[in-house]
Amino acid sequence: WQYNAASRDTDIVYKDAAFTSADFADFWGKFATAVNGATCNDQRVGFDLINEPHTHEESGGKAGDIGISLADWFTCAQAAIDAIRNAGAENTIFVPGMAYTDAALFTTNGSSLAWLNLTDPAQNLAVTAHCYTGVGSSNPTVLRDACSALVAWARTNGTKVNVGEIAID
């Protein structure tokens, strides 16, 4: 889904064109049907909707980068959740926030508020985040500090969190 030849990086594209929530839902419904058929609905399998959604501005205005707005991203995420559930899958669905899924920004960039508006009849959603705050830091608590607001938010809201990528020096 995400390689954009124009920016030569990940982007919110399919075959180098911006996708719609209907396109995204169509893919996820078909994919969930295929995966659960192949795995006999194995609940150890989860669905991670996309890697690092971001706006064009968050990419630094990189030439050729399309990006996606916060509102459009969460519209696409809800459409995918609905399609996955309509396919009969009850597996965990991992939904990232904006700004390249940055754990440190999740509670301040609108992602946490938008995330709370997602609905799931299976009540099996989780936040997925990345934390690269440790790059260039010698602070031994840099990762904990960067993730603390997200973890506090998740505890308050009874939400699962997966920090899927980290980097430290």
Catalytic residues: 52, 165
In sequence order, which residues have a C-beta less than 8 Å from that of residue 93 and are 6 or more positions away? 46, 47, 49, 80, 81, 84, 120, 124, 125, 126
Residue whose structure tokens are 């440790």: 134
Count Cβ atoms below 10 Å from residue 32 Cβ, excluding itself: 24
Euclidean distance between CA atoms 116 and 155, whole angstroms: 13
Work out the burial of residue 158: count CB atoms within 10 Å of its CB; fewer than 13 is exposed, 13-18 middle, 19 or more buried.
exposed
Coil/strand/helix, residue 70: helix
